[in-house]
A and B are shown apart, each in its own frame.
Chain A
Amino acid sequence: MSFLPLSRRSLLKAGAAGLAAAALPMGFARAQSPVTIGAVYVGPRDDFGWNQAHSVAMEILKGVPGVTVVEEENVPETDAVTQSMESMINLDGANLILATSFGYYSPFVVELAKKYPDVEFRHAAPLWKDTDPKNAGSYFPYLNQAHYVNGVAAGLASPTGKIGFVAAKPIPSVLSNINSVLLGARSTNPNATVQVIFTGEWSLPVREAEATNALVDAGCDVITCHVDSPKVVIETAEGRGVKTLGHNASQAPLAPKGFITGAEYKWETIYKGYADNIAKGEPLPNFMVGGYNNDMLRNTAYGAGATPEAIKAADAAIAELVKGTPIYAGSLKDNTGKVVIDKSYDNYDPFLDGMNYLLEGVQGSLT
């Protein structure tokens, strides 16, 4: 095992990074160790969804002096990801690996972290435990905060207060997004409702389009979703002449007439932090969660579907979330009438991670 990656390729890269650093007036990267970040994506980088959100952040990182970015897309959650990560470490000299899909973590990231103790591994889902290797870790922003802001805007931008939600599977993070849209909408329109259709799969374009049509036919005039690639849902809704709320990445270009705003990750905050830690030789945090209060989320720039009141209310909601005002302020009932939230919970309270209900005001069921 070589401790110095002295391949010609990495020498050239290091030289180029050094030159770039020397040319900098502020000397930001001077005397700091070079950072090579390898990111692995489960799907295409330009899917208008989860993978694109990560890729956008990596593009921003490319502009940071001293940072080299290596990316690989369409890597399945199998042994293939081990090979991708190992080649990034051995051939590209990556000292930080970002594994962005849920199924990459165990056993692939955990095993590789043991094999390469000098390389840092971070995974985009809250799975890291104290017993896992110290050079591994998790990061995860709570997107439901941004969906809450979506709801706040939709409550005022929707003439009828009926919001349609195309959801993939009834897992806690999806349910929390649905419930947060409802609570946001109810904060500006107490009569607002959310109607949800589960497709049962993360990516089924034809059924997503059918579900969108069914929601519009049922009278919903704002449509949002939680599926892998929101492109089909947003385009179909725009074609039906209703308003839309985005998810994961910016879908604003897909809906020039009806786009209100969208819930987006701001991965670059986390990634820049990591790059900075490595450059300065500091330890990387093992577990990071966040939201508006630590700049890990953003809402897409308001589109033509947003009204002035909606924009004002949404901006105010973001200001509240930055302060840490809780979204789940009880007591709240689920849509079968049972009290499921007895008091106010902090936005990062582990109690909320086990969400397995739809709140009163949401039409739909989990099974």
Chain B
Amino acid sequence: MMESAFVTVLIAMLGGAIRVSTPFMFVGLGECLTEKSGRINLGLEGNLVLGAMVAYAVSYLSGNPWVGVLAAGGSGLVLGALHGYICKLPKVNDIAVGIAIMSFGTGTAFFFGKPFIQPTAPRLDAIHLGDWTGNAALAQALQVNPLFFVGIILAVAMSWAFANTRWGLIVRMTGDSAASARAMGVSVDLVRFLTTAAGGFLAGVGGAFLSLYYPGSWNQGLSSGQGLMAVALVIFARWDPIRCIWAALLFGAAGAIGPSLQSIGISQGYYFFNAAPYILTLFIMIASARSKGAAREVPGELSITK
């Protein structure tokens, strides 16, 4: 009995990691790209919420959820470009603009999202990877949305591009030393504008996952701060796309601990278990941030470290 209960929790954590991690992944990768170029965009929560609303609305109106995903990315792109453009102006603080964009994004989403709370939009389908196991819980846990794989492929591609391509080098150089980039004839503002816009696109897609797959509906309380947490994840993952994926998976798995422990009868202390993702993050932060490597990996131009 004890053993099967343990297995239940493990399966729930696996399922949680797969189901919950994707928005963290996309927002985290978007923020990673932006911060690599030396700019911070705290407004991705706004992109996420607006993306969720736009995805749901477009999916409902067009009948095709993938069109919704693209539209969500588009809305994120616009918000990201706005942030990128404003920050290009002299003496603008990117953190303050980010917070303004966050309020603007969520406010716009609530305003236009009103008529889409009631209707049910077509949602994204899952790929059933676990049906062969014959175990209902495992089969459920292994229902994976294609966006999950897109996120992983994207992380690998980003990681490779940062290390091996000219574009990746330019982004990294802009992030580490704007003066060197200028000396090379690279337009720092243009690079940061493009990375912020692209990062915004990814965050918008992350929002589409929330409204079109899991939990899969649009309402004003949909994102409970996932966008903000994902920004923190990037620091936690120390600006490495692959580590962003691990961090997102860890967050998803830890979030499943609370409900699944209650489901197997360990119901005492659920407030504590629900806090598991944050406690875990805190410990890993303390453990990892003290290493010398951590200081080396921070992009030199970030306004929080300058």
Q: Which residues of A contact B (CB under 8 A)?
A: 43-44, 46-48, 74, 195-201, 203-211, 213-218, 228-229, 231-232, 235-236, 239-240, 253-254, 363-365, 367
User: Chain B 209-249 against A: per-residue CB contact (8 Å), 1 yes, 0 no?
Assistant: 01000111101111010100000000000000000000000
User: Chain B 259-284 against A: per-residue CB contact (8 Å), 1 yes, 0 no?
Assistant: 11011110111110010000000000
- Tell whether A213 pairs with B117 under 8 Å between CB atoms, given A204-B224, A365-B267: no
Q: Taking CB as reference atom, which chain B residue is nearest A205? A: B215
**Which of B114, B120, B263 meets A215, CB within 8 Å?**
B263
Q: Taking CB as reference atom, which chain B residue is nearest A215? A: B263
Q: How far is the CA of A199 from the CA of B261 in the complex (A)?
A: 12
Classify chain B's interface size.
Answer: 35 or more
Looking at B226, B255, B274, which has the most chain A CB atoms within 10 Å of its CB? B274
**Which of A44, A208, A209 meets B117, CB within 8 Å?**
A44
Q: Could you say which residues of chain A place their CB within 8 Å of the CB of B210? A: 206
Interchain residue pairs with CB less than 8 A apart (10): A44-B219, A199-B259, A206-B224, A206-B226, A207-B274, A209-B214, A214-B12, A215-B263, A217-B263, A231-B219
Q: Could you say which residues of chain B place their CB within 8 Å of the CB of A43? A: 220
Q: Report whether B258 and A207 are in contact in the complex, using a CB–CB cutoff of 8 Å.
A: yes
Q: Report whether A235 and B217 are in contact in the complex, using a CB–CB cutoff of 8 Å.
A: yes
A sample of 19 more A-B contacts (CB under 8 A), given A210-B255, A210-B256, is A47-B117, A196-B262, A203-B221, A204-B221, A205-B215, A205-B217, A206-B20, A209-B216, A210-B259, A213-B15, A217-B8, A217-B136, A218-B264, A229-B221, A232-B216, A235-B215, A240-B140, A365-B268, A367-B269
Q: How far is the CA of A203 from the CA of B217 in the complex (A)?
A: 13
| Smallest CB separation, B44 vs chain A (Å) | 17
Q: Could you say which residues of chain A place their CB within 8 Å of the CB of B265? A: 363
**Which of B11, B19, B224 meets A217, CB within 8 Å?**
B11
Interface of A, helix, strand, loop or mixed by DSSP: mixed
Q: Report whether B219 and A217 are in contact in the complex, using a CB–CB cutoff of 8 Å.
A: no
Q: Taking CB as reference atom, which chain B residue is nearest A228? A: B221
Q: Report whether B270 and A200 are in contact in the complex, using a CB–CB cutoff of 8 Å.
A: yes
| Smallest CB separation, A258 vs chain B (Å) | 15
Q: Report whether A210 and B16 are in contact in the complex, using a CB–CB cutoff of 8 Å.
A: yes
Q: Could you say which residues of chain A place their CB within 8 Å of the CB of B140? A: 213, 216-217, 240
| Smallest CB separation, B18 vs chain A (Å) | 11
| Smallest CB separation, A240 vs chain B (Å) | 7
B291 within 8 A of A: no
**Which of B8, B136, B263 meets A197, CB within 8 Å?**
B263
Q: Could you say which residues of chain B place their CB within 8 Å of the CB of A207? A: 224, 255, 258-259, 274
Q: Could you say which residues of chain A place their CB within 8 Å of the CB of B118? A: 46, 48
| Smallest CB separation, B188 vs chain A (Å) | 38
